[in-house]
Amino acid sequence: MKQQHPASNARQRGVGTLVVTLTLMLSMSLIVFYLNRNVIFEQRTAANQIRSTEAMELAEGGMEWALGMLNTPREIDPACVPTSSGSSFRKRYLAPSGTTFTPLAGVTAGCKRSGGAWTCSCPTSGNASLGNASEPSFTVVFEALAGQSGAVQITSYGCTAQSAACQAGQTGSADASAMVRAVLKASPLLPGKPAGPITCGTSCAIGGSYNIVNNDVETNGVLVNAGTTITTSPGTSLTTIPGQPAANALVGSDKSLADLASADPTCSNSRMFNAYFGTTMDEFRTAPTTTVLSCSSASDCSNKLSTAYDQGKRAFYFTSDVQLSGNGTLGTVADPVVFVTPNALKVNGNWDLYGMVFSNSADYNNLGTGAANIHGAIVSCAAYSNNGNGTAAYDPNVLNNLNANNGTIVRVPGSWRDW
């Protein structure tokens, strides 16, 4: 048998070793390239996920910002900053009237991150003006819903770094964008409206030269509704729907009112309040649309009320008696006020109040030195007495407008969509 030369064997072994080495090196290089490719892919995926999450958070933040602004009664300027001469965010963009909303179509509001703070824009026409800086931003727009006049659709757009406006059709240049949408409605401030201009849990005593008016057919022209007795002085004027005797419009011994009053004789459990407002007095007091005031005197109360009213506030809770002196007007038919107090309401002067007054005390007293005119309704948890001048006139439009203007705006369950 022929034998190979030792040198030849050595060369063959060397070549084999080199081939193996090169093969291993190539394999390792391929593995490294593959792993590096995966790392790059995962890094890009993680970065995209971060931007996408940031955009979604911006869109959701825009939704929450809009809800907060809608439930803030303060008047605002074009930069969304509180002012004493403007309109509230709700009035500007939803135009509430009665039980309906008429959203300002095609107008956007929003905010953009600027350094360490947010710059916002609340225009009355056109799009939000947020500058050209490439920073995170969001905008919101409101739309009407066919057949649902008491509801509106809100769409919030969120964008990461983008110089152009973050809104429909202009989100393409952002690192990432997202959109959320929901249907909004106002939770009624008065789920249960009073049946007449004056309602008393127990007795109603009308004295002085007072006018009581109700021409509303839906309420049958009821003038006074009491859980127990109703008494009127010779100077009381009663005006109800034509053809109905005034005596028939005085509805006393109402069992439903008597039951509410007897179940809560100290008015501490909000039974009567809940029957009309659908909530407790504590919940009303802490609602975002409510302004809490405490008065030390009639002049102090009048001044605080006037200041808050000029700021756009319309729902008030008084920790003290409500005392008014001097002359003035609070509210309108389209933009009424609501007064709630666990104490008394005392009016001494010439005042016109458009709205709803609820008192947990038995004392409403004009003192006869002026004329207090309430257009809407007065409700007392227990007894009610009046020996002054003025008018209590039932106005269903005032009460309807309280719901759209002062009810808390909430999302309709099941209407939330996000992209």
Give me the residues paired with residue 290 across strands: 315
Q: How far apart are CA 378 and CA 345, in angstroms?
A: 10
User: How remote is the C-alpha of 330 from its chain's centroid?
Assistant: 21
- pLDDT tens for residues 262-280? 888 888 877 899 999 999 9
pLDDT of residue 212: 95
- All residues at 6 or more sequence positions from 104 whose CB lies less than 8 Å from its CB, including other chains: 92, 93, 94, 95, 124, 142
- pLDDT tens for residues 185-235? 988 888 888 989 999 999 998 887 889 999 999 999 999 999 999 999 888
C-beta neighbour count of 258 within 10 angstroms: 16
Strands (E), 123-191: 135-145, 148-162, 177-187
Sign of CA dihedral 189, 195, 197, 201: negative
One digit per residue, the tens of pLDDT, for the chain of length 419 reads 555 555 555 555 555 566 566 676 666 666 666 555 555 555 555 555 777 888 899 999 999 999 999 999 889 999 999 987 788 999 999 999 877 899 998 899 999 988 788 999 999 999 999 888 888 999 999 999 998 888 999 999 998 877 777 877 765 556 788 999 999 998 888 888 898 999 999 999 888 788 999 999 999 999 999 999 999 988 899 999 999 999 999 999 999 999 998 888 888 877 899 999 999 989 999 988 899 999 888 788 888 999 999 888 999 999 888 878 788 899 999 999 999 988 877 777 788 999 999 988 745 555 445 678 899 999 998 888 887 788 999 999 999 899 888 888 999 998 878 76
Q: What's the one-letter identity of residue 127?
A: N
pTM of the model: 0.79
pLDDT of residue 140: 96
Strands (E), 290-370: 290-293, 315-318, 322-330, 337-341, 345-359, 364-365
Measured between alpha carbons, how far is residue 379 from residues 122, 309, 311, 344 in Å? 38, 22, 26, 12
Three-class SS state of 36: helix
